[in-house]
């Protein structure tokens, strides 16, 4: 698509609209969507954002140690050469404050903030079929209207605080990592309990342990982690990046995960045991998510995966000095990287500190919270602060907490009662002119997110431009296109080890009562991109264009997606 900015015409509707588009969320996706629709297509757009500033995930997740697991030179927008050339990251993995500075820089550079309403939480959205409009309501009671509703609410923005009896009686303070106080939390001299050992908990524990009097980590599911090997970027690497923006962009756009490295062609048993060990050692030393790219069959062949799993477990046992603690940390029951693989800065080493205790709550579950702490396995752990690193109601949570009502009063909750059903992760049948960015059924969390986001935003922008150019006033997927996309998403997942982990948030298993459906598309970002391009090139195949609402019941003018449009390895 065209790279640059036509000047934004001053098409500013009154406060409530009608707008051409309302975008919900001002994180990575909402910001770029605003830029594309307003500055490239000349549309009137309002962005509604619950936070007091831009950033989305990076606005809320300010917990100690919060940083990105993607390498900084791949973590950002690639659409603007000027932006690429003027921004320089300082560390291999950017820390939360630096990412927030980057997103503010983007918002200021493209003059985005004037079209964003901050401190504005969207509570409801209702379709008016006759007027072909969406009516949106905010918690402050404002009402706004637009032709297109674009949900850029993020995949991991609905905090999951487990319902542990007695939390309300706790005499100390408690925090969820995804809703961290902006003024920070002083752990000095405090007895801190941390529940959760996912990517977040693994980042937070080493930092909390450095200032707390004592840290007790409550571990339900043991987890793999590979050293991040973070550090400041040297002048030479920065120059290397400056000279290779095009090359880096090409790599991230053509790999299954959107990361700046290729997955090895070899399989785990193509090499001898000694060679395999040397490959893992080198990857461990290099650090980062690239470890899982060591062999191309790690996520599809359990025997291959077992070799990586055994290597990491051995490392855990070598790092952690107390044998009993090491055994609890290394008692990992799922294949490596079949849940999101964390990377860390001294996580396992943290358990060698005198002020850190590990509690195995799988063996001795948490019973309740009392004023003085947490009771697990019949023992009370005295605490001043509890940190919930317990994750999110991922992917569907941020969408379903908005009361969305489509055609004929169909609510998104009803439509997704048995789990999310989308076409390409971009649209839902019965909800014309509503788009989801990084929605369920798209690669989303299996991909370096800014890469997925750019693809989605540009596809939606091109789609809206095409609709307008062709005088088509509404678009929604045909029922059969949704049916076949859901089947393809399941098929792509089933070709991997990912759905074999019963306690994975990819399946919604971390939220009691949530339907167990594998939510992200595991067919790979590159393959997904090719499918979306093919759908657009065939006149938006699988979508019903124009006509009246409830068009989804009618067949699409042109069939659905063609999985054969692209082949590719799995996206994990
Ligand atoms: O959340 P998680 P997260 N009692 O759901 C445990 C992204 N991210 O915030 O596995 C006791 O992974 C739960 O145990 P179990 C990344 O995509 C990105 O860590 O359900 N424990 C688990 O240990 C990541 O995957 C970056 O048995 C309970 C932990 O809490 C996603 O965010 C950095 C419990 C939750 O782990 C979410 O990661 C950090 C209960 N009732 C995160 N409920 C970047 O790089 C849950 N747990 C940008």
CATH code for the domain in which residue 429 is found: 3.50.50.60
- Do 421 and 496 share a domain, yes or no? yes
The token pair that represents 280 in the structure block: 């893992």
Which residue, of 340, 359, 388, is where some domain finishes? 388
- Do 419 and 523 share a domain, yes or no? yes
- Do 412 and 553 share a domain, yes or no? yes
Report how far ligand 1's centroid is from the alpha carbon of 428 (Å): 27
Report how far ligand 1's centroid is from the alpha carbon of 56 (Å): 18
- Do 133 and 194 share a domain, yes or no? no
Task: Provide the 10 A C-beta neighbour count for residue 28.
Answer: 30
Residue of minimum CA distance from atom 41 in ligand 1? 162
Ligand 1 binding pocket mutation candidate from 166, 358, 359, 391 (most atoms within 8 A of CB): 391
Distance CA 447, CA 453 (A): 10
Question: Residue 74 in 3-state DSSP?
Answer: helix
Residue of minimum CA distance from atom 48 in ligand 1? 68
Nearest atom within ligand 1 for CA of residue 201: 19
- Do 224 and 123 share a domain, yes or no? no
- Do 51 and 186 share a domain, yes or no? no
Q: How confident is the model over 511-546, as pLDDT tens digits?
A: 999 999 999 999 999 999 999 999 999 999 999 999
Asked if the structure places residue 2 within a domain, the reply is no
Asked if the structure places residue 139 within a domain, the reply is yes
- Do 250 and 227 share a domain, yes or no? yes
Q: Residue range 538-557: average pLDDT?
A: 82
Nearest atom within ligand 1 for CA of residue 57: 48
Report how far ligand 1's centroid is from the alpha carbon of 197 (Å): 6
Among 204-213, 394-403, 552-561, which stretch is predicted with the lowest mean pLDDT?
552-561
The token pair that represents 108 in the structure block: 């200021």
- Do 414 and 559 share a domain, yes or no? yes
- Do 43 and 144 share a domain, yes or no? yes
Q: How confident is the model over 35-45, as pLDDT tens digits?
A: 999 999 999 99
- Is it the case that residue 291 has pLDDT exceeding 90? yes
Which residue, of 388, 408, 429, is where some domain finishes? 388
Asked if the structure places residue 339 within a domain, the reply is yes
- Is it the case that residue 11 has pLDDT exceeding 70? no
Residue of minimum CA distance from atom 35 in ligand 1? 390
Q: Which residues contact 216 (CB under 8 A, 6 or more apart)?
A: 191, 192, 193, 194, 356, 357, 358, 359, 374, 381, 383
Q: How confident is the model over 72-94, as pLDDT tens digits?
A: 999 999 999 999 999 999 999 99
Among 194-203, 324-333, 558-567, which stretch is predicted with the lowest mean pLDDT?
558-567
Ligand 1 binding pocket mutation candidate from 220, 331, 509 (most atoms within 8 A of CB): 220
- Do 174 and 320 share a domain, yes or no? yes
Asked if the structure places residue 486 within a domain, the reply is yes
Asked if the structure places residue 11 within a domain, the reply is no
Nearest atom within ligand 1 for CA of residue 199: 19
Distance CA 474, CA 231 (A): 49
Query: Dihedrals φ, ψ of 411, to 5°?
Result: -95, 155
Distance CA 118, CA 73 (A): 29
Asked if the structure places residue 300 within a domain, the reply is yes
Q: Give residue 551's pLDDT band: very low, low, confident or very high (50, 70, 90).
A: low
Q: How confident is the model over 112-149, as pLDDT tens digits?
A: 999 999 999 999 999 999 999 999 999 999 999 999 99
Q: What is the pLDDT of residue 190?
A: 98
Residue that the structure tokens 């509570």 belong to: 123
Q: Give residue 567's pLDDT band: very low, low, confident or very high (50, 70, 90).
A: low
Q: Give residue 555's pLDDT band: very low, low, confident or very high (50, 70, 90).
A: confident
Q: How confident is the model over 261-274, as pLDDT tens digits?
A: 999 999 999 999 99
Helix axes 245-254, 449-469, angle to 10 degrees: 80
Cis before 18 (ω within 30) = yes
Report how far ligand 1's centroid is from the alpha carbon of 200 (Å): 6
Q: What is the pLDDT of residue 553?
A: 61
Q: Give residue 231's pLDDT band: very low, low, confident or very high (50, 70, 90).
A: very high
Helix (H) or strand (E) holding 218: strand 214-219
Measured on CA atoms in the order 13, 16, 18, 19, is the torsion positive or negative?
positive
Which residue, of 372, 388, 404, is where some domain finishes? 388
What pTM was computed for the model?
A: 0.95
Report how far ligand 1's centroid is from the alpha carbon of 177 (Å): 10
Residue of minimum CA distance from atom 25 in ligand 1? 340
Report how far ligand 1's centroid is from the alpha carbon of 388 (Å): 9
Nearest atom within ligand 1 for CA of residue 223: 23
Report how far ligand 1's centroid is from the alpha carbon of 205 (Å): 13
- Do 131 and 64 share a domain, yes or no? yes
Q: Which residues contact 247 (CB under 8 A, 6 or more apart)?
A: none
Q: What is the pLDDT of residue 4?
A: 40
**Domain count within the chain:** 2
Residue of minimum CA distance from atom 13 in ligand 1? 196
Residue that the structure tokens 């998403």 belong to: 489
Q: What is the pLDDT of residue 1?
A: 39
Name all residues whose Cβ lies below 6 A of ligand 1.
68-69, 156, 162, 195-201, 203, 220-221, 340, 361, 389-392, 445, 503, 505, 510
Q: Give residue 401's pLDDT band: very low, low, confident or very high (50, 70, 90).
A: very high
Residue that the structure tokens 């001002």 belong to: 26
Report how far ligand 1's centroid is from the alpha carbon of 502 (Å): 14
Q: How confident is the model over 482-503, as pLDDT tens digits?
A: 999 999 999 999 999 999 998 8
Q: How confident is the model over 407-465, as pLDDT tens digits?
A: 999 999 999 999 999 999 999 999 999 999 999 999 999 999 999 999 999 999 999 99
- Do 174 and 266 share a domain, yes or no? yes
Asked if the structure places residue 571 within a domain, the reply is no
Among 2-16, 194-208, 277-291, which stretch is predicted with the lowest mean pLDDT?
2-16
Average pLDDT, the chain: 94
Report how far ligand 1's centroid is from the alpha carbon of 224 (Å): 13
Among 7-11, 270-274, 328-332, 542-546, which stretch is predicted with the lowest mean pLDDT?
7-11
Report how far ligand 1's centroid is from the alpha carbon of 158 (Å): 12
Domain extent at residue 133: 19-158+394-565
Q: Which stretches of 227-272 are DSSP H helices?
A: 235-242, 245-254
Asked if the structure places residue 347 within a domain, the reply is yes
Q: What is the pLDDT of residue 547?
A: 84
Q: Residue count of the chain, please give it.
A: 572
Q: What is the pLDDT of residue 298?
A: 97
């Amino acid at each position: 698509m065209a790279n640059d900015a036509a000047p934004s015409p001053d098409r500013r509707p009154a406060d409530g609209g009608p707008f051409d588009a309302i975008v919900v969320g001002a994180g990575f996706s909402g910001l770029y969507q605003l830029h594309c629709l307003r500055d490239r297509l000349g549309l009137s757009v309002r962005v509604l954002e619950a936070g007091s500033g831009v950033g989305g995930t990076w606005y809320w997740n300010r917990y100690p140690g919060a940083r990105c697991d993607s390498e900084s030179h791949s973590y950002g927008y690639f659409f603007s050469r000027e932006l690429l050339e003027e921004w320089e990251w300082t560390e291999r993995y950017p820390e939360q404050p630096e990412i927030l500075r980057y997103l503010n820089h983007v918002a200021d550079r493209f003059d985005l903030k004037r079209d964003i309403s901050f401190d504005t939480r969207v509570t409801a959205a209702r379709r008016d079929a006759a007027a072909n409009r969406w009516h949106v309501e905010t918690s402050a009671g404002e009402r706004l209207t637009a032709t297109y509703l674009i949900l850029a609410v993020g995949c991991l923005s609905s905090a999951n605080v487990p319902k542990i009896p007695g939390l309300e009686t706790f005499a100390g303070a408690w925090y969820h990592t995804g809703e961290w106080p902006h003024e920070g939390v002083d752990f000095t001299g405090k007895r801190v309990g941390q529940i959760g050992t996912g990517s977040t908990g693994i980042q937070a524990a080493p930092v909390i342990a450095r200032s707390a009097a004592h840290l007790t980590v409550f571990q339900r599911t043991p987890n793999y982690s590979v050293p991040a090997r973070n550090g400041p970027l040297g002048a030479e690497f920065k120059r290397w990046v400056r000279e290779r923006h095009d090359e880096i962009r090409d790599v991230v756009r053509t790999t299954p995960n959107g990361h700046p490295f290729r997955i090895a062609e070899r399989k785990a048993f193509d090499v001898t045991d000694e060679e395999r060990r040397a490959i893992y050692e080198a990857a461990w030393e290099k650090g980062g998510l690239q470890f899982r790219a060591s062999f191309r069959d790690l996520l599809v062949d359990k025997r291959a995966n077992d070799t990586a799993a055994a290597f990491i477990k051995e490392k855990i046992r070598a790092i952690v000095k107390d044998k009993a603690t090491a055994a609890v940390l290394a008692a990992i029951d799922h294949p490596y990287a079949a849940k999101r693989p964390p990377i860390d800065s001294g996580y396992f080493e943290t358990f060698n500190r005198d002020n850190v205790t590990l509690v195995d709550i799988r063996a001795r579950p948490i019973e309740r919270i009392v004023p003085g702490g947490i009771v697990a396995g019949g023992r009370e752990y005295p605490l001043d602060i509890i940190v919930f690193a317990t994750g999110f109601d991922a992917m569907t949570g941020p969408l379903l907490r908005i009361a969305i009502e489509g055609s004929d009063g169909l609510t998104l909750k009803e439509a997704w009662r048995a789990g999310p059903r989308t076409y390409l992760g971009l649209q839902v049948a019965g909800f014309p002119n509503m788009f989801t960015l990084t929605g369920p059924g798209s690669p989303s969390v299996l991909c370096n997110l800014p890469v997925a986001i750019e693809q989605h935003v540009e596809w939606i922008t091109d789609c809206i431009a095409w609709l307008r150019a062709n005088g088509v006033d509404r678009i929604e997927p045909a029922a059969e296109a949704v049916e076949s996309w859901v089947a393809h998403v399941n098929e792509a997942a089933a070709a991997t080890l990912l759905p074999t982990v019963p306690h994975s948030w990819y399946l919604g298993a971390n939220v009691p009562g949530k339907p167990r459906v594998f939510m992200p598309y595991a067919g790979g970002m590159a393959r997904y991109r090719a499918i979306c391009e093919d759908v657009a090139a065939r006149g938006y195949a699988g979508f019903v264009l124009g006509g009246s609402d409830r068009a989804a019941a009618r067949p699409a003018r042109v069939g659905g997606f063609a999985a054969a449009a692209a082949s590719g390895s799995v996206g994990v």
